[in-house]
Structure 1
């Protein structure tokens, strides 16, 4: 077996129209704002292939400090595609899944953001209660409450 050079997964990135709205939603979910900045310049365009990009980003971190969510709002160039309302069997990135302590309380707190349950809350064996919701701007979010201790 060959040793991997992989160290960790640093973050998952999403693109939104309202950075403030997304920050508020993910803060209510339990993530903390780690930083906010404008990313632009020749170096950034070389990484993404978008040349003259100007992007406002916010980095959110989970309570354990191990996972990050990079939320981006493109100022230029304009957004060219919208996959937010794709069904769960669409090709490409599907959703972000978060483990929560109390699923019912979490759903109640996120209701003020207009979240919608995609299907229903279900229990998987004696392991999890879980569901999918549409969060800010229709983003697909998975929530799972571990039942084992």
Structure 2
């Protein structure tokens, strides 16, 4: 049975803030909606499920993020996941210019967690906290320079 990757879903505190961050990095909004009703309750497994959603796509069209802001039930704040904790913890992007991408992230108050590292002569990369504490990895492929 063939399988294809659809998207990564991330619950956010403020949908507009998250959209601004990811669109400034280069993703584009391909859809927005407000979801609720029995079908949403069943699919997600939450009674009274009501959320604003946005789907953003990478410029190459190969990957999507689905961002959602819960209206009901109220979102539960958690501590941001750390890189060594079990479970989903980051979204990663290849970028043409890591310095330019970090300048954009800084406009949103987002800084590298520790700095920018170089992996051999292959990648410059860093982790930073995006909106709602999302762990974001940015990597520049040095072999393409």
Q: TM-score, normalised by structure 1?
A: 0.92
Structure-2 separation of matches of 1:47 and 1:124: 41
1:100-119: CA deviation from partner (whole Å, max 9, x where unpaired): 00001110121110002112
Distance 2:29 2:107 in 1: 20
Tell whether 2:134 aligns with 1:146.
no
Alignment of 1:3-42 (within 5 A): 5-42=1-38
Q: Secondary structure at the match of 2:62?
A: coil
Are positions 1:134 and 2:129 aligned together?
yes
Aligned residue-pair number: 144
Q: Which residue of 1 aligns with 2:88?
A: 93
Any runs of at least 4 consecutive aligned residues in structure 1 with deviations exceeding 3 A, and if so which? Answer: none
Aligned counterparts of 2:45 and 2:110: Cα–Cα separation in 1: 33
Query: Which position in structure 1 is the counterpart of 2:73?
Result: 77
In the other structure, the counterpart of 1:123 is 118
Q: CA RMSD in A?
A: 1.1
Distance in 1 of aligned mates of 2:125 and 2:14: 27
Partner of 1:61: 57
Q: TM-score, normalised by structure 2?
A: 0.95
Q: Structure 2: any 5+ residue segments left out of the alignment?
A: none
Long gaps (5+) in structure 1: none
Query: Match of 1:148, SS?
Result: helix
SS at match of 1:10: coil
CA shift, 1:71, in A, is 0.2
Q: How far 1:81 sits from its partner (Å)?
A: 4.7
